[in-house]
Chain A
Amino acid sequence: MSSKIISPFNRVEGDLDVEVKFERNKVIDAKIISRLFRGIEIILKGKNPLDALVITPRVCGICGASHLYASASALDMIYNAEVPINAIRLRNVLSMAETCQNDLRHTYFMFLIDVLNNKYHDYANFEEVIRRWAPIQGSSYKECFKWSKKYTEVYAIFGGQWPHGSAIIPGGITADPLPNEIQRAISILLDLKKNYLEKVILGGPINQFLDTVKSYNDLLQWAEDYKEGDLAKILEFGLEANWHKLGYGSGIMLSYGHLPTEEYVGTPSKKYFKPGIYFAKEKEYREFDQRNVLEFVNSSYYTYSKGDQTGLHPFEGETNPNLDEKNKKKYSLTKCFRYKLDGKLIAPEAGALAMLSVTGNPLILDLIDKIGPSVLSRVVARLVRVLIYNELMLQELNNFEFGKPTYKKPSEVKEGMGYGLVEAPRGALGHWVVVKNEKILNYQIVTPTQINMSPEDPLGNKSHMALALIGTEVSDVNNPIEVHHIVRSHDACMVCNVHMLKLI
């Protein structure tokens, strides 16, 4: 057994090491290791609760609006804020605009350029793929460069700037747009629809796609009918490269649900995308209850005052980093996320695929049924979400009622507890906040990457991502591109660099 280090593993938003053990060309064990700690939860302690609206977007430069949305939602609950419908529409638009920006940039800048790998040089359509997806030079790569930032323009019209706007506040949103601004955003979205999403990504009309493509077969038919779209090429290439047989993982989908549909006080009851847990194999849906969320640190570089084997709900959560490298059981700066269901600890998958399957999207459900929760399914789900979101943003903006408020000042409270649950680009994101004497007593952020890539829990259960890697047969251990595909298909986000440590 020899060992070789491939590090850093780039093009993942974040700081991640993946340790993979091979037996011949098969992955027999995998550990996900995060080696960046920024201490945001510690910084927030003792601060004014509203400060979280400025600090938490800085957790992530690519999905700050999701953190902002989660943070403001948690504070909505604490202040029992009335949130007017206009505010909900604009908040939703901010969240969707950011997610579209991410889903496109992830697909083209981070995921697809791996097709340049040596393994694919003799594929039939390799030249075509290079022409489209090669970094800097590829036609679709360039189009993504040009168009993805248009979503940030939509964001800035209502959010002031992207990244790191802070326009979402408990009780609504700071902006008060005039009809010309609403119109400007609508025009940008229509431009994106006609001249980018339909021309480059889909190769055909969005409305027709959303109305008629309801199954895997419909999708293949679409790819036949609209060959020129990138979606068709991704399917064609992905099937040849066996992306549909790669990276299945836990088969348990988790979504917190997203985008409230109506005015609410404190916490929304209805969302466009419903929360829940979906078991892919059993085709079984279960309700989600945030009280069952637990975090463990038995394998993480932290200590708990009640002992490291204990699982803590985020309201009771603790962030005490302790980089004790003598303790061989600990290896990551990511805490371990588990959900308690029927007395068992489950380690689900989060992300676009999970969100759309939990909410019951027929195409995505059939995709999971036919080609599993695979690398290919994840890439397709992310693009389908952009199409859905672009339409939904147009709807929200068209429904905006000028002359009605975007904000209602909540009455002040000295203490309380609240949580905000959203679907970030990478999946289920939760903020749990405890306020006492008008100051933050405890702030815990549980990210989707943490859900996907936790270390082991005290019972030795592996996370979804480790399961997705274990059993993978790579074509060449010196060029384990399959591992890269699996990791990147999750749009991993630890912000900065990724190392892969390969033990042979």
Chain B
Amino acid sequence: MKTILWLQGGACGGNTLSFLNAESPDVLEFFSYYDIKLLWHPSLSLETGDKVRELLNNIVNMKINLDIFIFEGTVVLGPNGSGKFNMFAGRPMKDWVNEISKVANYVIAVGDCASFGGVPASDPNPTESTGLQFHKKEKGGFLGKDFRSRKNLPVINIPGCPAHPEWIITTLSMIINDKLTEEDLDEYQRLKIIYNTTTQFGCPRNIYFSYKVALKEFGHREGCLYFDLGCKGSYTRSPCNVILWNKQSSKTRVGTPCFGCTEFDFPTFNFFVTEKNRSGIPKRLPLGVSRGAYTTLSAIARASAPEFLVKPLIKKKEDRGNWLE
């Protein structure tokens, strides 16, 4: 039997809610198939009050074995390092996190907030929030860069705002089966098998991206959102278009740009806008592409774009001209 404790710091609860959407297995099946005991979760457990404090204390003094500590949300240090912007069970949450991390076999940061600081830690970081082992790009975070859990692993990050339930279940099942090793993690301590591709993989607009056919305004199925509308799909590592959301779709499929929410620098702000340099080329290029190569490739690609891509396929009665470029 493995035990899990799930706590929330400076969080919106989105990762919990996302987890509840898991399918095959769903959360209840997952717990029973793998003989998992959920010691406590703030919105799923029956125990309240003293019983929870007792449990937490028993975990900290190791009377109860804790296999997996999952933390959602930022570690709140404000105001002035006191942690009092986030009190939990009578103490600053940061103190619980510190003590519990020391006794857990594995420590998991679920979501962008716990991984990197996410929205609360963004400029000007009014709550002095930080991630468990990263603060944005910097390794360190709340637990320090040398932190290792009892199984000698750093914090395992499952970033995403929120994390997809299948990413969470995959990570947990690898841990439960003792299959997760340090080699499985990338430089941001994310599971490589999940975060090795970009959001662009599997995006239906990818063919428009290849031929540099840009979508100029929202509300259309065709055209790529990268050139004008701020899509970060070509340089964000996530499988959003391969492992679909809620079994159905993804942001770029419904015409919403990718905001890069699995990355350390989320939120970057000025979403919905692609910043360009003077020659009109996007400032941020697709992952691993040089400026020279991009410029050459763009010219050729645009010149060879098939006509059926350049002309909208689905025209509506009230459309005012072309929305592709």
Contacts and interface: CB of A to CB of B under 8 A. Distances in A.
A9 interface: yes
Interface string A400-429: 000111111100000000000000000000
A152 interface: yes
A145 B28 contact: yes
Contacts of B256: 160, 165-167, 174-175
Nearest to A155: B246
B86 to A, nearest CB: 5
Contacts of A388: none
Contact of A10 (B20, B47, B255): B47
B89 A7 contact: yes
Interface of B: 8-18, 20-21, 23, 26-28, 31, 42-50, 52-53, 73, 76, 78-79, 82, 84-90, 118-120, 122-127, 129, 161-162, 217-221, 240, 244-256, 259, 261, 267, 269-273, 314, 316-319
A313 B50 CA distance: 40
B221 to A, nearest CB: 5
Contacts of B118: 58
A85 B3 CA distance: 51
Given A323-B79, A405-B316, A497 B89 contact: yes
Nearest to A501: B90
A415 B43 CA distance: 41
A362 interface: no
Contacts of A7: 49-50, 52-53, 89-90
B270 A51 contact: yes
Interface string A160-191: 11111111010111111110000010000000
Contacts, number: 266
Given A10-B47, A135-B44, A105 B269 contact: no
A496 B27 CA distance: 20
Given A38-B119, A160-B252, A495-B12, 11 more contacts: A36-B87, A39-B126, A43-B119, A53-B272, A149-B20, A152-B246, A162-B21, A176-B221, A333-B85, A404-B316, A499-B89
A48 B273 contact: yes
A142 B27 CA distance: 11
B43 A159 contact: no
A145 B269 contact: no
A11 B249 contact: no
Contacts of A184: 248
B248 to A, nearest CB: 4
A163 B45 contact: no
Contacts of A153: 246-248
A37 B85 contact: yes
